[in-house]
Structures are given as structure tokens and as C-alpha cells.
A and B are shown apart, each in its own frame.
Chain A
């Protein structure tokens, strides 16, 4: 079993299938010391199959490992797994959340297209956010989505943007309590009282330090500009 460096933690992962091995490949580290260990059982694979039918066992192994890592980080390492696409621009990270198929990837690609090397795609699908010394830090992860977008970097999280598809481009600021239910839909946590309360704990700590934006946008090139103005200048007009 090898040790991998994910979200600034050394994680020993038992890994059988090639699908997961390929994802994890560039995250391997030489250390023999690790923060925690993840082993999946046949029962874990069955549970993943129950949650979403129609994938291969190798993919279920991957989702089971991700679930176990996210639960451990939530329980013991002051962090939570997001479903979202996150970019870095001028040393600040912006995390875009929306239900699958809304166009998170399309939107971050507009940033990339317009701002080129000034924008780094940290992760296209499953980033971790951890509170380190009272600062929310977002981390890339081996789980990069179907477009395989991401790099193994971290950055201070500055804002979470909820993406909504719309013909016009506009944005409005949101308060933490307006954001809570959407945050709970965009994060992973065990579906029990402990998991829900722990998720709210972490989300509250994150909310204290960042801003929230509700972004309504189309897929035109200037959609990114509406988001950029709101995020970097606090300007919410078109």
C-alpha cells in the first residue's frame, strides 16, 4: 500500500483497480508516515453500487475511497469535500458550485480562455476545503471530473459562486444563511445527524471568511466578466 499526499495530508490507500491507480498516480509520496489509512471492502463497493447503478467495480472503488477520505477529513481534519469547479486568479480561489450539467466547467473555461495563464484550474469536480489557522484553503484532488481538469495545488478560498443558467449575465451577493442550503447540496457528508451537524460546523467556519455570489449567466465570452467584476471589485451591475 502506498502513501498519497492529498489536501495536505498523507493518506495510505489500499488500491486494486487501474482506474483508481491512474487517478492517484501523480499524488504518490515517498513518506512512510501517514495521517490515516483507507481500505475499501466488498461491502463498500456494494454500497457505492446501491447509491449509483451502472458503473464498473473499478469506478466504485474510486468513489468508495473518495467517500472514506472525505468522511475522515470532515470528522478529524477540519475540512469538507465540495462538488464544484475551482480556479485560482491572482492568488485567490473562486469555487463555482451548481447541480451537474448546469455548466460549471463551461464557465471556468471562459475564464481560462479570456485570462489564459493568469487563471489556474485547481480542480474541475471534487476539491477539498480545509480550515488551516482560521483560513479556508482549497485543495485540488485526484478526482478531477470527466474533463480531467485540475492540478495538485492549493490556494486561499476567496468566494463561492453558485452558477445558474440564464439568458442574461448578472450577479448578486448572498449572505451565508441564504447560501446554506446550496452549500449543503454541494458538499459531501454522512447522511446522519453527526455528518449533517459536522458539515454545518465546517460550512459556518468557511462562511465567516469568504463571500458568496449568486451568478446568473449564459455561455458567451463576457459571462466570465460579470463574475470577475462581482468577485474582484464587488460590482454587481452588467
Chain B
């Protein structure tokens, strides 16, 4: 799976906002707010990765157990999937 192109990440307060570059995106599809671990996953998924690769990367980067990493990742994936930003064909 891979994050689709066409978004720019920008800091706002203590959150990260993904901003659509698309001229035709409506407001609800133009902005996604996330925390710093989500930003890490976002950047990691700019290249095609498997679910397991993302979990392993989270475990290496953060001091968390596998269950927490999977829960965080599932939450993130549901947000980007609902926004139509996840390319899951591979």
C-alpha cells in the first residue's frame, strides 16, 4: 500500500495538516489533520510498503509495543482510506 501523491504536509500548532494540491478538491477532501506519528507513517508510505513493514518501522521509531503500533496504524489507515488517499492495489 502507498499514500497517493498530491498532498503537501504542513505543521499547524502541534498537529500536521495534509493539504491537497488538487484544484478541484472540495473542502472536506482538502485537509487532513494528524499527529507526529501519523506524519511519520504518511512519509513512510510515500513508497509502496506492506502492513508489516509499517508496523516494524513504527516499532523501531517509537518505544511502543506491537499492539499499540497496530492500533495506531489501523486508526491512521482508516482516516486515509476514507479520504480516498490510500493506494492498496499492490
| A interface residues (Cβ-Cβ under 8 A, vs B) | 175-177, 180-181, 184-185, 191-193, 196-197, 200, 203-204, 207
Given A177-B14, A197-B8, A197-B10, 13 more A-B residue pairs with CB atoms under 8 Å apart are A177-B13, A177-B15, A180-B13, A180-B17, A181-B33, A184-B30, A185-B27, A192-B21, A193-B8, A196-B30, A196-B31, A203-B12, A204-B12
Closest to B30 in A: A196
Q: How far is the CB of A178 from chain B (nearest CB, A)?
A: 9
- CA A197 to CA B11, docked complex, whole Å: 10
Collect the chain B residues with CB atoms within 8 Å of residue A175's CB: 13
Q: Which residues of B contact A191 (CB under 8 A)?
A: 23-26, 30
Indicate whether B85 reaches chain A with its CB closer than 8 angstroms.
no
7 A-B pairs with least C-beta separation:
A193-B21, A177-B13, A176-B13, A177-B15, A192-B23, A196-B19, A180-B12
Given contacts A177-B13, A180-B12, contact A200 B23 (CB under 8 A): no
Of the candidates B17, B25, B33, the one having the most CB atoms from chain A within 10 angstroms of its own CB is: B17
| B residues in contact with A176, CB < 8 Å | 12-13
Instruction: Tell yes or no: B77 within 8 A of A by CB.
Output: no
Residues on B close to A: CB < 8 A? 8, 10, 12-15, 17, 19-21, 23-27, 30-31, 33
Q: Compute how far the CA of A181 lies from the CA of B24 in the bound complex, rounded to whole angstroms.
A: 18
Find chain A residues with CB under 8 A from B15 CB. 177, 180
Q: Can you show 27 pairs from A to B with CB atoms below 8 A apart?
A: A176-B12, A177-B12, A177-B33, A180-B12, A180-B13, A180-B31, A184-B27, A184-B30, A184-B31, A191-B23, A191-B24, A191-B25, A191-B30, A193-B8, A193-B19, A193-B20, A193-B21, A196-B19, A196-B20, A196-B31, A197-B19, A200-B17, A200-B19, A203-B12, A204-B12, A204-B13, A207-B13
- Please measure, in the bound complex, the distance between the C-alpha atom of A207 and the C-alpha atom of B15, giving whole angstroms: 14
* Distance A228 CA – B88 CA, assembled complex (angstroms): 51
B30 — which chain A residues lie within 8 A by C-beta?
A: 184, 191, 196
